[in-house]
Structure 1
Amino acid sequence: MAADAPRSNFIRQIIDKDLASGKHSEVHTRFPPEPNGFLHIGHAKSIVLNFGIAEDYQGTCNLRFDDTNPLKEKVDYVNSIKEDVAWLGYQWNGEPRYSSNYFDQLHAYAVELIEKGLAYVDFSTQEQMREMRGTLKEPGVNSPYRDTSVEENLKHFADMTAGKYQEGEAALRAKIDMSSPFMVLRDPVIYRVRFAHHHQTGDKWCVYPMYDFTHCISDALENITHSLCTLEFQDNRRLYDWVLDNISIDCHPQQIEFSRLNLQYTVMSKRKLNLLVEEGKVNGWDDPRMPTIAGMRRRGYTPSSIREFCHRIGVTKMDNQVEMSMLEACIRDELNQQAPRAMAVLDPVRVVIENYPADQVERLIAPNHPNDESLGNREVPFAREIFIEAEDFREEANKKYKRLVLGKEVRLRNAYVIKAERVEKDADGNITTIFCSYDADTLGKDPADGRKVKGVIHWVAAEHAQQAEFRLYDRLFQVPNPGAEEDFFSTLNPASLVVKHGYVEPSLATAAAEERYQFERIGYFCADSKDSSADHLVFNQTVGLRDTWNDDA
């Protein structure tokens, strides 16, 4: 991929200083997702940061799956993560790595801590451990197993590894400081018994290391120079440093924290996103309403628009909420410049141009982009019967209404001026057909007699139009910060998906998956990658032509 323009931030300043001082001669970063769900836009920020820094400094970036909890991990998640990173335009260093690649070494380091008297096997229940842990105001209480001898602890840990204890019956804890003001240092569990099949190691292990123990050692084993993570891991850095300081390992990566992405009108918690999927509130992880990379891709976002968004929000240590309009502006700006134009009618009403020859079909020429001749032109058939949007016609209207009004004229995009003469209605009073006349001398030019026609509307020829389904997506939640609500389901937007059935011009009959268009006067759409076919065209709305949410505010 073409490198994005580097943007200075405090992390790059640290790296510049480290290289200038000789602390490091190269930069080695990593992106370490847990394979327990699909990646979302918050992960994209980390991807762009870690891979972007590696590219800019001619370094390397590993893709490593921190796969320490087989109960919540799936190979499907592993595959989706690899696909998302590659789609965003990045290539990881060598083969994908897994923390499970290091389980033998991690186990050996756990034994080393036991031998040094810095870890012990605890037979307390989880509830007992929680009570002994203390609070932010009160120190913890030592476990009755804390002073067990090294020899006994080695035997107990060997028995844990051999599967002689049930889940929850025994756990290996680091022996640090139960009175520490930092809860993370109050003898944290570093290994637990788990009888679960692992997607990489199978049934080899029945004890698994905890994330905090695994993560820092995996970074060190991979010789990571700068371990970049979000601010919620700031306190965990104390535990990471303790672990690396107390085992026989040479590398000690520098952890640097930055603020996570909090995007309005959605949630960034994989647990909550998983609940949305499991409860059927959305149609899977790649539902275009989801903030997942897969969902955004299906909705029509481009890799470059997501990277640009990540650059615009920047990298700081200050938590804040980013407006959804900022993300939407990135894709709108790009598609405005690049997306070919086409015409679609989402809520059709039939128009009959009575003075147009019944058997005549014209092949009009329309530009694919008004400002980019390199995109060429397309043929648009024009005939006696066409469809227009129902909202583009009124029997009566004031002067501010610039569309078709009974007894008045409007221009059809790239075609003629027509005049509404009369309407036909059904038994319920709904308009079924608008009868018009056209001026044959107005193709591509103003009327010869100099009369002014201010309005322009889009249309499709009825006989040649292709039927299509249109999925109109809005924000998933009705409030800016749904994650703060006790019942975040209650804030779901009931209008987050509206389905319409209409028509597109015939040039879109073979629209390829993820192909993006500007439907003139409507918005930006793409052909759905899962459901659209030649027999059933489906277009997803990416974003409107302008930010209507801010207009409403």
Structure 2
Amino acid sequence: MEEEKKALNFIEQIIEQDLENGLAKNQLRFRFPPEPNGYLHVGHTKAICINFGLGEKYNAPVNLRFDDTNPEKEEQEFVDSIKKDVEWLGFKWDREVYASDYFQQLYEWAVEMIKQGKAYVDEQSSEEITAQRKTPFEEGVPSPYRDRPIEESLALFERMKNGEFEEGAMSLRAKVDMASPNMNMRDPVMYRILKRPHHRTGSQWKIYPMYDWAHGESDYIEQISHSLCSLEFENHRPLYNWYLEQVADETKLKPKQREFARMNVAYMITSKRKLQRLVAEKAVTGWDDPRMPTISGMRRLGYTPKAIRNFIERVGVAKRENLIDIQLLEFFVREDLNKIANRMMAVIDPVKLVIENYPDNEEEWLETENNPEDENAGTRKIPFSKELYIEREDFREEANRKFFRLKLGGEVRLKSAYIIKAERLEKDENGNITTIYASYDPKSKSGSGTEESLRKVKGTLHWVSAKHALPVEVRIYDRLFTIPQPDAEKERDFMEFINPNSLVTVQGFAEPSLKNAKIGEPLQFQRIGYFTKDEDSTEERMVFNRTVTLKDSFKI
């Protein structure tokens, strides 16, 4: 039993302790609370897996709650994308709820706080309020409106709600402690005037609650047992608890906020503001660009939910932040794709190979395995003919003994086909090889059972029949940034570190069966990498994205 407890992460230990101290198991309820002001990114995958993972572990409900308190930046598009991402990762929520569902209750609670002398209307600008808060090393200066009469604040707050004042003219502040060393406790703003339509409530509200006020109270309304958030909110916890104390009924469960370390992955950024800038300045094609660290971008690149969840499980739940090597994420992507991706043949830098002794008009349909890692994957037929395409890098006019691919006078086996020997070649006026001429051994056909078919040669090449070749556009994606932490360089703009070679597009050829590949289907182009069919594909233009290379030096 002790060994089992040691394996628990610190959040699970907190929950277990709460259960031991009398919390009923049926009172456990968690939530994932995204703000619908952008697409979810790699950092959110950790919060999703933690909250929904706890729901699965304890058979407890998990709410998907949209903290939609800022209509300036929130859109239905983001709501829809968040729901799609959570479902794609394999999780189901119990209730879909919104902070905007509670706007009336939050307003009524704010009125009660004014009546109790715990909130007041301040007519200062946000700049003046910030200046009066001072620094953690000196006491703040109370607002001149801090002790205004309760009835006056009530009347002004009602007029704020009715839209009688301009934006920025005044705000509602909680009366907490202007001398607190925690800056969040220095009379935080609860409401500001925003005359912007909300994506759910329309123009009903002219004032909107601040995140700190809405978040904890929403947890309380929903009776969330454990409110889990990233470390940046640790200093907000005293305010979270203070707000709850103002409204909580002692007969009801009071949520417990606890913080875990954010997930920072090398070569990725997780600032929504910076991601928005990448999109706005067209450094990428959109939120779902395969180079983006968004969940939709990773999905389009070809990452799988299982790979991401395995990665999160390996990273674990920690109290201290650190930078995670992106190669660890790519390791789990490869590990999953290796099991599920069919092996296909495609040539992305083609050179023509002519087998001179193969009959001119003959073609064969050869059998090849789909995935040696999956015994149920079966086989398929691929066409073979006199003229083929092979990778340009797989041939050298001259090479040493360590080059095990094709060279003049040398032999290789064509995958699932025959052994060939390079006899001669042709070049253009610039000295580039245009055609390789070879001979084949008819008795060396793979799987034929002849002595020649069992003959071993050191190299095996993938190939595509020129007569049957499917033209494809192949997008070779690399890391979006040239350094591991592009937003850590305080003296330089992170945009300066964008990798100019993060996307290289080439035209190649693939076996004809790829015509039937589905959007997002995991594939391995043999000896090249893992790929997936992109949504830009049409009947006339087939587009494939490289998900990840075949191998990497990373070890775990």
Q: Tell me by how many angstroms 1:450 deviates.
A: 9.1
Aligned residue pairs total: 543
Per-residue CA distance 1:7-56 (angstroms, 9 max, x = gap): 73111111112122222332100000000000011111111110111111
Paired position in structure 2 for 1:3: none
Does 51-60 or 241-250 show the bigger shift? 241-250
2:205 maps to 205
Kept in 2: contact 1:24–1:225 (CA 8 A)? no
Distance 1:357 1:47 in 2: 59
Whole-angstrom distance in 1 between the partners of 2:79 and 2:290: 20
Cα distance in 2 for partners of 1:497, 1:220 equals 47
Determine the C-alpha separation between the residues in 1 that align with 2:454 and 2:359.
25
Partner residue in 2 for 1:422: 424
Provide Cα deviations, 1:300-322, integer angstroms capped at 9, x if missing partner: 11111111111110001011011
- Cα deviation per residue 1:193-219 (whole Å; 9 max; x = unaligned)? 000000010000000000000000000
Identify if the C-alpha distance between structure 1 residues 13 and 538 changes in structure 2 by more than 3 Å, giving closer, same or farther.
same
> Hey, what does 2:3 align to over in structure 1?
none
1:153 aligned onto 2:153: yes
Cα distance in 1, alignment partners of residues 507 and 154 from structure 2: 68
**Do 2:86 and 2:92's aligned partners in 1 also have CA atoms closer than 8 Å?**
yes
Note closer, same or farther for the CA distance 1:201–1:453 as it changes in structure 2 (3 Å cut).
same
More displaced stretch, 187-196 vs 409-418: 409-418
Aligned to 1:547: 552
- Of 511, 518, 524, the residue aligned with 2:517 is 511
Could you say what secondary structure the match of 2:376 adopts? helix
Per-residue deviation, 1:137: 1.8
The answer to which of 447-456 and 77-86 deviates more is 447-456
1:455 aligns with 2:459: yes
Supply the distance in 1 between the matched residues of 2:59 and 2:454 (Cα, whole angstroms).
64
Aligned equivalent of 1:172: 172
Tell me, what secondary structure is at the counterpart of 2:467? coil
Q: Which runs of 5+ in 1 are unaligned?
A: 1-5
Q: What amino acid is the match of 2:68?
A: D
The one-letter amino acid paired with 2:548 is: V
Structure-2 change in CA distance of 1:7 and 1:91 (3 Å): farther
Q: Which runs of 4+ in 1 moved over 4 A?
A: 449-452
Q: Report how far residue 187 of structure 1 moved.
A: 0.6
Alignment of 1:349-498 (within 5 A): 349-444=351-446, 448=452, 453-485=457-489, 486-498=492-504
Show the 5 A alignment for 1:37-56. 37-56=38-57
Superposition TM-score, scaled by structure 2 size: 0.95
The CA deviation string for residues 397-454 of structure 1, in whole angstroms up to 9 with x for no partner, is: 1111111111211111111111111111112221111111111111127974997521
SS of residue in 2 equivalent to 1:192: strand
The one of 500, 509, 521 equivalent to 2:506 is 500
Indicate the percent of aligned positions where both proteins have the same amino acid: 53
Deviation at 1:544, TM superposition (A): 0.6
- Per-residue deviation, residues 265-303 of structure 1 (Å, max 9, x unmatched): 010111111111011001100001111110111111111
Amino acid at match of 1:431: I
Q: Unpaired segments of 5 or more residues in structure 2? A: 1-5
Letter of the 2:531 partner, please give it. F
Alpha-carbon distance in structure 2 between the residues aligned to 1:371 and 1:71: 50
Q: CA deviation at 1:247?
A: 2.2
CA contact (8 A) 1:112 1:247 kept: no
CA contact (8 A) 1:28 1:225 kept: yes
Q: Secondary structure at the match of 2:148?
A: coil
1:132 corresponds to: 132
- Which sits farther off after the overlay, 241-250 or 217-226? 241-250
3-state DSSP class of the match of 1:512?
A: coil
CA contact (8 A) 1:7 1:311 kept: no
Once the two structures are overlaid, the 10-residue window that deviates more, 446-455 or 428-437, is: 446-455
Q: Distance in 2 between matches of 1:483 and 1:326?
A: 21
Q: Is the 8 A contact 1:221 1:251 kept in 2?
A: no
Question: Helix, strand or coil: the match of 2:20?
Answer: helix
Deviates more, 1:168-177 or 1:440-449: 440-449
Q: State the partner residue of 1:533.
A: 538
Mark the CA change 1:126 to 1:371 in structure 2 (over 3 Å): closer, same or farther.
closer
Counterpart residue type for residue 114 of structure 1: I
Distance 1:396 1:112 in 2: 86
**Aligned mates of 1:165, 1:453 — CA distance in 2:** 83
Is the alpha carbon distance of 1:359 and 1:178 closer, same or farther for their aligned partners in structure 2, counting shifts above 3 Å?
Answer: same
- Are the aligned partners of 1:479 and 1:491 in contact in 2 as well (CA < 8 Å)? yes
- CA deviations over 1:359-409 (Å, ceiling 9, x no partner): 110111000012323111010111000000011111111111111111211
CA RMSD between the two structures: 1.6
Say whether the 8 Å CA contact 2:42–2:293 is kept in structure 1: yes
Give runs of aligned pairs for residues 232-381 of structure 1, distance below 5 A.
232-249=232-249, 250-381=252-383
CA drift at 1:523: 0.7
Distance of 2:300 and 2:140 partners within structure 1: 49
In 2, Cα distance between equivalents of 1:312 and 1:403 = 38
Q: Which amino acid aligns with 2:544?
A: F
The one-letter code sitting in structure 2 at the alignment partner of 1:36 is N
- Once residues 7 and 538 of structure 1 are traced to their aligned partners in structure 2, the CA distance between those partners, rounded to angstroms, is 45
| Native 8 Å contact 1:510 1:534 kept in 2 | no
Residues 478-508 of structure 1: CA deviation (Å, up to 9, x unaligned): 1111121231011111111111110111111
Given that 2:248 and 2:254 are in contact with CA atoms closer than 8 Å, whether structure 1 keeps it comes out as: no
Distance 1:257 1:450, change over 3 A: closer
Aligned partners of 2:20 and 2:551: how far apart in 1?
46
Q: Which amino acid aligns with 1:544?
A: T
Going from structure 1 to structure 2, the CA distance change for 1:449 and 1:277 (only over 3 Å counts) comes to: closer
Is the Cα contact below 8 Å between 2:340 and 2:522 reproduced in 1? no
